[in-house]
C-alpha cells in the first residue's frame, strides 16, 4: 500500500513540475513576442495616426477628412483651402510624406 501511495505522489509531483515548466516556456515566448513588438514600434518614426496627421499637416495645409492605416504607414485625405480633396501617404518607417 505504501509503495502505491509513493508512486501516486511521485506521479503527481512530476505532472505538476511538467505543467509548470510548460507555462514558463509559454511565458518566455509571450515576453519575447511582446519585446519584438516594442522594438518594432521603436524603429518606426510614425507610431500612430495622430503622428501621421501632424507630419502631413506640416507639409499640406487643409482639413483632414480621414486617416486610414495601410500596410506600411497611413493614408490621409485632406481638403485644402481651394476646395480640392487629395490624399497623402505617410510612411511609418521613415515619416516620408508623398502626395497621391
Picking from 49, 55, 44, 37, the residue whose alpha carbon sits closest to that of residue 94 is: 44
- pTM for this structure? 0.59
Cβ count near 92 (within 10 Å) = 23
pLDDT recorded at residue 19: 57
Low-confidence ranges of the chain (pLDDT < 50): none
Rounded distance between C-alpha atoms, residue 76 and residue 70, angstroms: 10
pLDDT recorded at residue 32: 76
Alpha-carbon dihedral sign for residues 64, 69, 74, 75: negative
Picking from 98, 80, 81, the residue whose alpha carbon sits closest to that of residue 89 is: 98
pLDDT digits (tens, 9 = 90+) for 78-96: 999 999 999 999 999 999 9
pLDDT recorded at residue 92: 95
pLDDT recorded at residue 43: 80
Amino acid at each position: 500500500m505504501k509503495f502505491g501511495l509513493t508512486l501516486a505522489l511521485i506521479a503527481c509531483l512530476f505532472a505538476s513540475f511538467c505543467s509548470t515548466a510548460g507555462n514558463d516556456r509559454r511565458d518566455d515566448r509571450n515576453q519575447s513576442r511582446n519585446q519584438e513588438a516594442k522594438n518594432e514600434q521603436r524603429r518606426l518614426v510614425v507610431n500612430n495616426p495622430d503622428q501621421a496627421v501632424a507630419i502631413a499637416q506640416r507639409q499640406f495645409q487643409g482639413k483632414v477628412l480621414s486617416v486610414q492605416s495601410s500596410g506600411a504607414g497611413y493614408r490621409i485625405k485632406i481638403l485644402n483651402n481651394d476646395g480640392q480633396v487629395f490624399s497623402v501617404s505617410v510612411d511609418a518607417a521613415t515619416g516620408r510624406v508623398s502626395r497621391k
